[in-house]
Amino acid sequence: MRTIDDLDVAGKRVFVRADLNVPLDGGRITDDGRIRAALPTITALRERGARVVVAAHLGRPKGEPDPAYTLHPVAERLAELLGAEVAFAADTAGPSARAAVQGLADGQVALLENLRFEAGETSKDDAERGEFADRLAALADLYVGDGFGAVHRKHASVYDLPQRLPHAVGGLVLAEVEVLKRLTEDPERPYTVVLGGAKVSDKLAVIANLLNTADRLVIGGGMVFTFLKAKGYEVGSSLLETDRLDTVAGYLRDAERRGVEIVLPVDVVAAEAFAADAPHAAVPVDAIPADRMGLDIGPESAKLFAEKVKDSRTVFWNGPMGVFEMEPYSHGTRALAQALTESPAFTVVGGGDSAAAVRALGFDEAAFGHISTGGGASLEYLEGKDLPGIRALRD
């Protein structure tokens, strides 16, 4: 893949597909990590005299404008971080976008409105996506793919647009792919993968593939209760995907056959309700009360998981250990993150809620080997999938 160093960008309109899908609370950005991750590529292009046209999505609007998902707050934060004005277009490829781009001088930046305000961005119909990609292509001379969090999507701005313009990979995507290659091609061992989050169904495919590459899988979060149930434990009113029990049981047998260690909690924090102020207590996994739900791993499990992480040379983590947004159930995720900072391993935080948790819990991002910007994209890469946005950037 060509990099931005291979492009002559001076005086050119350079379309940068970034990932600026940040969490909002009433129009206020609660975590600007993805905006900050986009800065190096945008800054490098500005310094070389490019006219930078940044585009991204936010949330899941239904193919039409929705004020709840406007990128206007992102434009303001991007301007603050760049220390420069950012022209904001009130549409994606219409009159406002054309005017904003036409008004750019060398080294200046414009941000288009949410790409998903157009149905063509996410359409499964090639012609509809292509029509939108054509309109976006008219705004630029060159394309840079730097939105790693979206490269697993066959969307117009990710897949179709780079086929219409001379293109290169941005620094963020390049760095992400290099890290993932390190995890998949020749990881230093022992290689431990820590998986959490709510649903086991979201991670079935990656688990199947990791049984071929990892030495150890550490399982926490809501998804663990399907594993515990598959091993014969009662899980009370905890999150459970009964339709996945047979699959999970098969994975447990397959792991044992392959010599892959599966590490499950030995205790959990069980609460009477899904609420921060609900009565709760740590209980062994073989004694979860029928009327309680597990909302975090317990203190003994946190110690166990920390030991496994510290006894590793490579660690990939995706998914919190509990409902970290509620303080009583944040301790397992905090303990795991702390262990990662103390491990001698090359540690990768796999984006999404894991990256958000690291920042929300106050950890220094520099204490980890790499913090990814794309949870879903990272997982699909580890599944062995050929990601559309990466495929489109290859020469």
Q: Encode pLDDT of 137-195 as tens digits.
A: 999 999 999 999 999 999 999 999 999 999 999 999 999 999 999 999 989 999 999 99
Residues 49, 94, 107, 376: which is the catalytic one? 376
Annotation says 236 is catalytic: no
Q: Could you tell me the pLDDT band of residue 217, with boundaries at 50, 70 and 90?
A: very high
Question: And the tokens for 232?
Answer: 């014969």
pLDDT at 351 over 80: no
Check whether residue 168 and residue 251 sit in a common domain. no
Q: Is 80 annotated for ligand binding? A: no
Annotation says 232 is catalytic: no
Annotation says 292 is catalytic: no
pLDDT of residue 202: 86
Annotation says 145 is catalytic: no
pLDDT at 395 over 80: no
3-29 tens-digit pLDDT: 999 999 999 999 999 999 999 988 899
Amino acid at position 223, single letter: M
pLDDT of residue 45: 98
Residue 23: CA count within 13 A, CB half-sphere: 12
Q: Is 59 annotated for ligand binding? A: yes
What whole-number distance in Å separates Cα of residue 189 and Cα of residue 64?
Answer: 48
Helix (H) or strand (E) holding 230: helix 224-230
Check whether residue 261 and residue 298 sit in a common domain. yes
pLDDT at 376 over 90: no
236-282 tens-digit pLDDT: 999 999 999 999 999 999 999 999 999 999 999 999 999 999 999 99
Check whether residue 74 and residue 101 sit in a common domain. yes
Check whether residue 47 and residue 99 sit in a common domain. yes
Check whether residue 162 and residue 200 sit in a common domain. no
Question: And the tokens for 183?
Answer: 């995890």
Residues 120, 130, 352, 374: which is the catalytic one? 352
Check whether residue 234 and residue 370 sit in a common domain. yes
Write the DSSP assignment of 296-332 as a string of letters.
EE-HHHHHHHHHHHHT-SEEEEES-SS-TTSGGG-HH
The total number of structural domains that make up the chain: 2
What whole-number distance in Å separates Cα of residue 349 and Cα of residue 314?
Answer: 11
Q: What is the domain range of residue 239? A: 187-383
Q: Is 58 annotated for ligand binding? A: yes
Q: Is 21 annotated for ligand binding? A: yes
What whole-number distance in Å separates Cα of residue 63 and Cα of residue 115?
Answer: 9
* CATH code at position 125: 3.40.50.1260
pLDDT of residue 373: 87
Q: Is 294 annotated for ligand binding? A: yes
Residues 2, 36, 164, 199: which is the catalytic one? 199
pLDDT of residue 18: 98
Check whether residue 154 and residue 236 sit in a common domain. no
109-138 tens-digit pLDDT: 999 999 999 999 999 999 999 999 999 999
Check whether residue 197 and residue 217 sit in a common domain. yes
Check whether residue 247 and residue 311 sit in a common domain. yes
38-62 tens-digit pLDDT: 999 999 999 999 999 999 999 999 9
Q: Is 116 annotated for ligand binding? A: yes
SS3 109: strand
Helix (H) or strand (E) holding 137: helix 126-137
Residues 12, 13, 17, 34: which is the catalytic one? 34
pLDDT of residue 100: 98
